[in-house]
Amino acid sequence: MLFKLAFRNILRNRRRSIMSAGAIAVGAIAMVLFGGFIASIILGVQTDTVRRTGHLAIYRTGFFTFGSGNPAAWGMPGYRDILDLVRRDPVLAPLTAVVTPTVALFGIAGNFSIDASRTFVGSGVVPHDRDIMRRWNPYNLSYNNAAGSGLDDADPIKGVVGSGLARILGFCETLNLGNCPPPQPRETAQTPIAADIAALAASEKSETAAPDTLPHIDLLAATATGAPNVISMVIGNVDRQGVKELDDAFVLMHFDLAQQLLYGRGEKRALAILLQLHATSDLPAARARLTDIIRARNLDLEVRDFTEIVPLYSQIIAMFSAIFTFIAVIMAVIVLFTVGNTMSMSVMERTAEIGTARAIGLRRSGIRRQFLLEAWILGAIGATTGIAAGIALALIVNQAGLIWLPPGQSAPSPLAVIIGNMGQLHLAIWLGLMAATTLAAIIPANRAARLPVVDALRHV
């Protein structure tokens, strides 16, 4: 009976009730759409990050903190034994998709036929492993289907450069780069440093030297002993990076070629061993197992996960969480004022009715429950309708073919709003709006319950 009375009271002023439920529904729609959009961004960033760095990385102790200044000095001797140890471990083997060594280095890249050079930041990877890593897509994000790395296991002198580096080194026409402005006039005389590098490149042509007919660059870097070393690398592909500073310095090469540049004729080492798991949820178990292995064998190694390797990932999550919280607070405030105003108007219009109910024996708690139940019904109708409408709009957005350019990406991606596996978010939105509705109705309900019976009966 109490529920029937509350529902009838809501229908007394249908326009006001519809406006109140509509405000709640709009808040639910906004949070469903934005929450699904944030989820797509977070999963996309996680996918891109794990494709590049894997879930876990094994370094020599101290490399993560100090190794960027001199990577060659922090190489892992006997890294092949560590690879075998990880790959054959009965706990880690079922969890891992790829276990691969990598090398990071920096130096000077030059096209000395036109006296062009530029500092580069390079990585050496195993092409087959890298291609498998780039196909990691457990969330079925269609816009994240990446192509291969552009390297070849059978061709170690082939590499990939950023489009900015290719432009700086004068390969616009050779590599058919689009949107490539003509070079600006400049001095043609070689600087002393460039001349020295060119001479060193000419004098140290090795078995890695590329044929002059192929587009290639000379890479100069310091070996682990501090001696300069030069190799030639054929440009097999151009991979545009989303950040200009990286695009102007990016070099990706075969793992063997990177080892030769970094260690020369000395002992070949790896600077990191990357582990890409089948599922991110297995990361705690895999990290704990790696830590146990390192401790049991007293290895001079440390383990880092991708959130430590790429701090930007955690920063992006924190930023969008703060934005979502801000929007949720705004929606809650709108609901509070809308429902509070609706219930206050209802109390004023029904003052005489409240007095009559109190006169025939209805307690204050009964009056309070009645108004709270009316607010709950409004909240339930608005929140349920809003979540359903939000899901429907998300389906429309996903089918509309909208695209946008995410930060740090080089190519546009479809704008997506995730709906599946979002039940916890939708439940949280529903409960949050109900809580806001209840909070908004408390003050008017208490005011109605405390009305003096005599004053309420003679209210006109």
The pLDDT value given to residue 192: 54
Among the residue ranges 88-97, 105-114, 180-189, 338-347, the one predicted with the least confidence is: 180-189
Question: pLDDT tens across 223-241, in order?
Answer: 877 788 899 999 988 988 8
The pLDDT value given to residue 211: 60
pTM here is 0.84
In this model, does residue 145 exceed pLDDT 80? Answer: no
The pLDDT value given to residue 448: 85
In this model, does residue 220 exceed pLDDT 70? Answer: yes
pLDDT band of 184, cuts 50, 70, 90: low
Buried b (16+ CB within 10 A) or exposed e, 118-154: eebbbbbbbbebbbbbbebeebebebbeeeebbbbee
pLDDT band of 210, cuts 50, 70, 90: low
Residue 421, number of CB atoms within 10 A of its CB: 9
Encoded tokens for 323: 């934005």
Instruction: Report the chain's terminal Cα–Cα distance, integer Å.
Output: 27
Question: pLDDT tens across 103-114, in order?
Answer: 999 999 998 888
SS3 helix, strand, coil % of the chain, rounded to 5?
55, 15, 30
Average pLDDT value for residue range 363-377? 86
Distances (CA, A) of 175 to 3, 251, 283: 74, 15, 41
What is the percentage of the chain residues whose pLDDT exceeds 70? 91
Whether the CB-CB separation of 109 and 218 falls below 8 Å is answered with yes
Angle at 428 between CA 43 and CA 39, to 5 degrees: 10
Q: What is the DSSP letter of 55?
A: S
Average pLDDT value for residue range 338-356? 85
In this model, does residue 248 exceed pLDDT 70? Answer: yes
Angle at 413 between CA 408 and CA 414, to 5 degrees: 145
In this model, does residue 353 exceed pLDDT 70? Answer: yes
**Inter-axis angle of helices 364-399 and 351-359, nearest 10:** 130
Question: pLDDT tens across 274-332, in order?
Answer: 999 999 999 999 999 999 999 999 999 999 999 999 999 999 999 999 999 999 999 99
The pLDDT value given to residue 414: 85
pLDDT band of 217, cuts 50, 70, 90: very high
Question: pLDDT tens across 2-61, in order?
Answer: 778 777 878 888 888 899 999 999 999 999 999 999 999 999 999 999 999 999 999 999
Residue in 279, 266, 175 with CA at minimum distance from that of residue 217: 175
The pLDDT value given to residue 196: 56
Average pLDDT value for residue range 64-71? 82
